[in-house]
Chain A
Amino acid sequence: AQSVSQHNHHVILSEAASLELGCNYSYGGTVNLFWYVQYPGQHLQLLLKYFSGDPLVKGIKGFEAEFIKSKFSFNLRKPSVQWSDTAEYFCAVRRTSGSARQLTFGSGTQLTVLP
């Protein structure tokens, strides 16, 4: 079964700092990749996704992520964070073949942006 690792459990940054959150998965086949965000008291929202094509994908609110197949990684980046980016971020992976088509989530990274 596939697994997803988010090595940073809690990241604290000041406003305008650059952000990179790591995500690695363990499956050698074709995958779909997702980043979800959960703002305090709100539901999980899709931030961006990769299905195929350009490995650099852009999402909402200035976020982007790069799929590096050789590293099994899908790191999330933002050049300049804002206080409103404080949230929990979840990476998720889904195999595109076989029966295990459901999303496997990482344990999440809590981002705190200090004003």
Chain B
Amino acid sequence: ETGVTQTPRHLVMGMTNKKSLKCEQHLGHNAMYWYKQSAKKPLELMFVYSLEERVENNSVPSRFSPECPNSSHLFLHLHTLQPEDSALYLCASSGTEGINTIYFGEGSWLTVV
């Protein structure tokens, strides 16, 4: 149990589908993050939310749309993805953005066909 729960763990979707990844943290943290982990590449930060406001968007394509309805939940809405978007998507949280240690969820494996 990591304190950060992601669902689904595995997702296969077509390029025309719309799906969402969900993340929930049970740690009382104020900041939440989406990272993309591809094989043989460093983890890429996609989005940062601090106190439910987006504070960082690292030039992610608009086919990825985050949503943070409250400090415990974070979504990543997926629409018209490309095969190269197949990767492990990691959610993480921390006490305060930029200060505390970041804790990761187990990830959602996404395959785009």
Contact = CB atoms under 8 A, between A and B. Distances in A.
A106 B103 contact: no
Chain A at the B interface: SS class: strand
Interface residues of B, number: 22
Contact of B106 (A43, A90, A101): A43
B106 A107 contact: no
A101 B101 contact: no
Nearest to A88: B37
Given A90-B43, A102-B33, A103-B45, A46 B106 contact: no
Contacts, number: 43
Interface residues of A, number: 21
10 tightest A-B contacts by CB?
A101-B98, A44-B104, A105-B43, A43-B106, A105-B42, A107-B42, A102-B45, A43-B104, A43-B2, A46-B101
Interface of A: 4, 9, 34, 36, 42-46, 49, 90, 92, 94, 101-108
